[in-house]
Amino acid sequence: MGVSVWRQRPPQAPLRERFARWRARNWQRAIVTWFVLTLAIMAVAAEPATAFPKAQLNSVPAVRVVLRTGAVLIAGAGPVVLAALP
């Protein structure tokens, strides 16, 4: 029977440093994702209320709440992401 030796992990970097590394690698993806989501939400919002997809979605209260909440979060997250970029 051998002796088990647990490998200790090196101490984890602080959250600020990990976020800075992630931001340095992925800032372009974050901007493109925000831009595409904003355009998609604007396209859905621009449809007339009687159009087929929007009329169907508005008849389901849970979907309506999710879409409105998502629109607010996406629209509000854009400036935050841009301000956090290097």
Query: Structural domain tally of the chain?
Result: 1
Residue 4 belongs to a domain: no
Residue 7 belongs to a domain: no
Q: Does pTM surpass 0.85? A: no
Query: Which structural domain range is residue 25 located in?
Result: 15-84
| 41-86 pLDDT per residue, tens | 777 777 776 766 666 766 778 877 877 787 777 777 777 766 766 6
* Both tokens assigned to 35: 């831009």
